[in-house]
Amino acid sequence: MSISGGIWKAIERGEALKCEAIQIFTKNQLQWFGKKLTALDVEMFYSEWKKSNIKKIVAHTSYLINLASPDRVNYEKSITALIEEVKRCDELGIPYLVMHPGSHKGKGERWGIRRIADALKIVLEDTSGTSTRILLETTSGQGNNIGHRLDHLAEIMSLVGKEDRLGVCIDTAHIFASGYDISTEHGYRNTMKYFNRIIGVSFLFAFHLNDSASPLGSKLDRHAHIGKGFIGEKAFSLILNDENFKGIPMILETPKEGNWDTINLATLRKLRGY
Ligand SMILES: [Zn+2]
């Protein structure tokens, strides 16, 4: 949901669509740093949230942050920017901050995983007084992005160690494009079993529910409307009705065009059965 006009406006926008969870950027996502939140921003945000039916709010980091950047200046800027984002979330009472792990730009996955873990250690140390959890998002594997194997996320988490501050967000379009076939019941169960084995289902704190406009294993990040892509409705029905994921925020990141938010939400509610 857009925060244009004030950060609390995102809550109004979510309410209008009867959302139970929303995702926001806590500042312009194309900029490194945001204006400091005023006391009024924070107060408006809390009061709108409290009187709404929205239970969970998830934030997403700026796209500029790259914790695997080989460039030292960019790497350090990414760390500083992420620290700022964690603090903003904490001020707003937002429990989860989703981020793409990072791109190693040709330095290799092993190198990238270590670089990200080192950065996260600094960020979590610097924000040790806060309670916002950083959620590493599964990626499609486009370019040199880390996170297209669940093993990458497991390894980063074990290198960092801070179990109370880290978790995972599964993006259905990304995980499918990266090669995990969640479109069939058998494939879905196998993927989740594997997730549970190497990461643990208790570390899954959010879903991005997107269909994929690119096929299984294509490594291309292309979001489609629910039921209109290569994944199909089945996977969403399995996730929505999975006892393990009750109460976990599930966020649409489908193209914002026409009244597709309404249509996609109606499809998901139909699949959930209430
Ligand atoms: Zn996503």
CATH number of the domain where residue 262 is located: 3.20.20.150
Residue 197 lies in a domain: yes
pLDDT > 70 in the chain, percent: 100
Cα–Cα distance for residue pair 23/57, rounded to 1 Å: 6
pLDDT band at 274 (very low <50, low <70, confident <90, very high): confident
pLDDT in tens, 11-29: 999 999 999 999 999 999 8
Mean pLDDT in residue range 95-120: 98
Strands 204-209 and 166-171: parallel
**Cβ-proximal residues to 5 (8 Å cutoff; 6+ apart), any chain:** none
Ligand 1: centre distance to CA 39 (Å): 30
Ligand 1: centre distance to CA 175 (Å): 10
Range of the domain at 126: 64-272
pLDDT in tens, 178-188: 999 999 999 99
Note the pLDDT of residue 273: 83
Residue 226 lies in a domain: yes
Ligand 1: centre distance to CA 60 (Å): 9
Ligand 1: centre distance to CA 3 (Å): 18
Comparing CA positions, the residue from 73, 120, 125 lying closest to residue 99 is 120
Residue 54 lies in a domain: no
Residue 148 lies in a domain: yes
Return residues with CB closer than 5 A to ligand 1 (ion): 171, 208, 253
Note the pLDDT of residue 153: 98
Residue 104 in contact with residue 70, Cβ under 8 Å?
yes
Ligand 1: centre distance to CA 92 (Å): 21
Ligand 1: centre distance to CA 137 (Å): 7
Ligand 1: centre distance to CA 208 (Å): 5
Residue 211 lies in a domain: yes
Ligand 1: centre distance to CA 62 (Å): 12
Residue 227 lies in a domain: yes
141, burial (CB in 10 Å: exposed 0-12, middle 13-18, buried 19+): buried
Helix, coil or strand: residue 250: strand
Residue 3 lies in a domain: no
pTM of the model: 0.97
Q: How many domains does the chain have?
A: 1
Residue 243 lies in a domain: yes
